[in-house]
Amino acid sequence: TCGICVEKCPFDAIEIINLPQELDDEPVHRYGENAFSLYGLPVPLEGQVTGILGPNGIGKTTAVRILAGELAPNLGQHGDPPGWDAVLDAYRGTELQDYLSDVRDGEVSVARKPQYVDKIPDQFDGSTEQLLENVDERGVLDDLLERLDIEHVREQDIDSLSGGELQRVALVACLARDVDFYFIDEITPYLDISQRVKAARLIQEMAEEHGKSMLVVEHDLAILDLVADNLHVAYGEPGAYGVITDPKSVRNGINEYLKGYLQNENMRIRPNAIEFEEHAPRQVSRADTLVEYPDVSKSYGEGEFGLDVEGGTIRENEVLGIVGPNGIGKSTFAELLAGRLDPDEGELGFELDIAYKPQYIEIDQPMQVEAFLRSITDKVGSSYWNTEIGQPLQLDRIMEQNLLDLSGGERQRVAIAATLSESADLYLLDEPSAYLDVEQRVRATNAIRRFAEQQDATVMVIDHDIYMIDLLADRLMVFDGEPAVQGRASEPKGMREGMNDFLANLDITFRRDENVGRPRINKPGSQLDKEQKKSGEYYYAP
Ligand code: ADP
Ligand code: ADP
C-alpha cells in the first residue's frame, strides 16, 4: 500500500512512491503535543484573489484564523508560545511581514463565508432581509441580490431557503461587509454553472475594482481557475499536518496538482496524474438497453412548472451525466422514471426502482454510520463492499461516528455509499461533488465508474462540476429552458454533442491547457472564444 489508501489502490498505481512526510522545519502553529501542525501561510494580497487548493482538514481554517488575528501562531512551541514579536521576526523579509504586523496591531478586519451554509438556519432566526441588513456596510445589498438572482428570497425566512439560495445569501452577507480581507470557504456547492460563474465574477470585482484581499478555497477546478489570480497548493496528511506552499501561478498550481507532483517543492502528492480526454471519446453502444422511453411531458398544474422530455434510450452499465441549471426539471424527470409521477402526455409503461441520493442530504438520525449502512445492506464489511465502496469513499475512519457529528464532506460520502449499497434498477446521484475536496471527487468518480461496470448498473449523475462530469460520464443528457418555468430534456447523447449543446446554452467555451490537456474556461469575447463558438466546438478539440 502507498499510505494514502488502506488496501487496494483505487488509482491502480503500479509503483509505490514516496509520499509527503512531515517537514523538519518549524511549523507556523502546532495545536499541542502530537496535535495538528501547520506549515506555511497563504499570503493575502491587496487587489488580488488568492486561491487555496487542497484537501479538507489540511489547516486552511487554522491559517485564516491566524491571518484574521484570532489565533496567535506559536511557531510550534505550544507549551511556551513566543508571542507576536517573535512571529514577526520569523517572517521578517517575507511577503507576509507587513500583513502580519498589521494583524498584530489589530488593524486587519475580516469577513468570512463559511464552508457549510446548511448550518446557517441553526444559527439564525429571521428573514433574509434581517440577516443582511446588519451587514450591509458597503450599501450594496440591492445590487448583490440582483446579480445573484436572489431578490425573491428577501422576505423569506432563512430556514425556508434551499441550499443554493443559502449559498448565495451567505456570499452576499460576506461581500456586503466593508473589510480588508475576505475569506470565502467554497463558492460552488449547490450552485449551477451560471450561478458559479456569476459568484466568481463578483469576487474578482472586489479585488479588481475595490482593491480588497480575497482568499478563496475552492474544489471546482474550472471555477478556481477562473476566479483566482494566484494559488497556494496545500498538502500533507489531513488531521495530522498540513503544508501550504508558496504562491504559484494559477495555471501551474492546478497543473502540478493534477499531475500529482509539485515542482518547486519536489513533492509527489499523489501516485497518478488526473487526466482528461482532449478528444471526445468514441461512442460505443455494445451495452444492452435498460429502458426505451417515448416523448413525454409533465406540468405541475396550470401556470406551474412544466417539463418536455425527448424520448430516448438508457443503457445498462453506463454512467449518464445529467447537466443543466437548477430548477429545470432534473428531479421531475427522475420522478417520472420511478413512476412516482404520471406524465400528462405520453406513456412510460414501466416503473424503475431508483436508488436516489438527493442534492440536500437528510440523514439526521442519532445513529452510528456503520449501523446506518447495515440497515441498507448486509454486505457492509464484506471484501467486495470494502474494496469497491468503503475504501474509495474513505469510510473506514468514520464508521463508528454518529451521523449527527459528520462534516458536510463525510455526510456526502456516507450518502453516496448508502445509495450504491441499495439494490435498484437505476442509481441517481444528485450533486455528489458537493463538499468533497478534489481528491475525494476523483476517488468518488472512480468508485462510481467501477460500480457501474462491475454491477452492470446504470448510474445517472447530476453535477455542476464540469471536470467531474467529464471524468464520470459516458453520455450526457442536457436540460435547458427557463428554470422554474419550463424545462426541456434532450435524449441521452454522446459526450461531444452533449457538451456542445450544454455549453452553447451557457455561452461558455473551454480551451485546452497546452501542458496537461486540462479544460479551461475561455475569457468571453476572446479570440478563441469567438472562433470556437463559430465552429460550434465548445469543449473538445475537433
Ligand atoms: P481545514 O480548514 O483545512 O479543513 P482546519 O484548519 O479546520 O482544516 O483543521 C486542521 C486540523 O486541525 C484538523 O485536524 C482539526 O481537527 C485540527 N484543529 C483545529 N482546531 C484545533 C484546536 N483548537 N485544537 C486542536 N486541533 C485543532
Ligand atoms: P431540478 O432537479 O432541475 O433542480 P426540479 O425538477 O426539482 O428541478 O424542479 C423544477 C421546477 O418544478 C422547480 O421550479 C420546482 O420548484 C418545481 N416543482 C418541483 N416539484 C413540484 C411540485 N410538487 N409542485 C409544484 N412545483 C414543483
- 30-65 pLDDT tens trace: 999 999 999 999 999 999 999 999 999 999 999 999
pLDDT tens digits, one per residue of 420-471: 999 999 999 999 999 999 999 999 999 999 999 888 899 999 999 999 999 9
Q: Is the dihedral of CA 29, 24, 265, 259 positive or negative?
A: negative
pLDDT score at 21: 66
pLDDT score at 541: 80
What average pLDDT score do residues 374-388 get? 93
Cell of 16: 509505490
How far, in Å, from the CA of 499 to the mean position of ligand 2? 24
Q: Nearest residue CA, atom 12 of ligand 2?
A: 305
Residue 99's φ and ψ, nearest 5 degrees, are: -60, -50
Helix 97-104 and helix 60-67, axial crossing angle in degrees, nearest 10: 70
pLDDT score at 20: 60
Say if residue 158's pLDDT is above 80. yes
What average pLDDT score do residues 265-281 get? 86
Instruction: Provide the residue type at 486 as one letter.
Output: Q
Using a pLDDT cut of 70, give the percent of the chain over it: 95
pLDDT tens digits, one per residue of 99-139: 999 999 999 999 999 999 988 999 999 999 999 999 999 99
Sole residue written with cell 512512491:
17
Q: Nearest residue CA, atom 20 of ligand 1?
A: 62
Strand 37-39 to strand 354-357: parallel, antiparallel, or no bridges (unpaired)? unpaired
Q: For residue 121, what are the CA distances in angstroms to 108, 158, 162, 407?
A: 28, 6, 11, 16
pLDDT score at 463: 96
pLDDT tens digits, one per residue of 502-512: 999 999 999 99
| Ligand closest to the CA atom of residue 115 | 1
Q: Report residue 278's pLDDT band, with 50, 70 and 90 as the boundaries.
A: confident
pLDDT score at 12: 52
Q: Nearest residue CA, atom 14 of ligand 1?
A: 239
How far, in Å, from the CA of 462 to the mean position of ligand 2? 15
What average pLDDT score do residues 248-265 get? 94
Among residues 147, 207, 192, the alpha carbon closest in space to that of 172 is found at 147
Say if residue 24's pLDDT is above 80. no
Instruction: Provide the residue type at 326 as one letter.
Output: N
Q: Report residue 7's pLDDT band, with 50, 70 and 90 as the boundaries.
A: very low
User: Which is the closest atom of ligand 2 to the Cα of 334?
Assistant: 6
Rg over CA atoms, the chain: 24
Return the C-alpha torsion angle 267, 251, 433, 278, nearest 10: -100
DSSP structure class, residue 385 = H
Q: For residues 23 and 20, what is the distance between their CA atoms, to the nearest angstrom? A: 8
What average pLDDT score do residues 480-501 get? 96
| Ligand closest to the CA atom of residue 478 | 2
DSSP H or E stretch at residue 206: helix 193-208
Greatest Cα pair distance, the chain, in angstroms, is 75
Q: Is the dihedral of CA 524, 528, 532, 535 positive or negative?
A: positive
How far, in Å, from the CA of 35 to the mean position of ligand 1? 9
**Among 177-186, 357-366, 523-532, which stretch is predicted with the lowest mean pLDDT?**
357-366
SS3 per residue for 292-313: EECCEEEECCCCCCEEEECCEE
Which is more confident, 312 or 19? 312
Residues in the chain: 542
Ligand 2 pocket, residues with Cβ under 6 angstroms = 300, 304-305, 326-332, 484
Among residues 492, 498, 524, the alpha carbon closest in space to that of 510 is found at 524
Q: For residues 228 and 224, what is the distance between their CA atoms, to the nearest angstrom? A: 6
Q: Nearest residue CA, atom 4 of ligand 2?
A: 327
**Among 155-164, 269-278, 448-457, which stretch is predicted with the lowest mean pLDDT?**
269-278
pLDDT score at 14: 38
Q: Return the best residue to mutate from 28, 34, 36, 401 for the ligand 1 pocket (most ligand atoms within 8 A of CB).
A: 36
Say if residue 369's pLDDT is above 70. yes
pLDDT score at 281: 78
Residues 517, 278: contact at Cβ < 8 Å? yes
Cell of 411: 455526510
Residue 420's φ and ψ, nearest 5 degrees, are: -70, -15
Q: For residue 13, what are the CA distances in angstroms to 16, 384, 515?
A: 7, 20, 22
Query: The complex's ipTM?
Result: 0.93
Q: For residues 535 and 542, what is the distance between their CA atoms, to the nearest angstrom? A: 9
Say if residue 208's pLDDT is above 70. yes
Burial class (CB in 10 A: 0-12, 13-18, 19+), 110: buried
Q: For residue 348, what are the CA distances in angstroms to 335, 342, 392, 458?
A: 12, 8, 36, 18
Residues 213, 233: contact at Cβ < 8 Å? no
| Ligand closest to the CA atom of residue 408 | 1
Q: Report residue 363's pLDDT band, with 50, 70 and 90 as the boundaries.
A: confident
Cell of 91: 517572517
Q: For residues 282 and 379, what is the distance between their CA atoms, to the nearest angstrom? A: 36
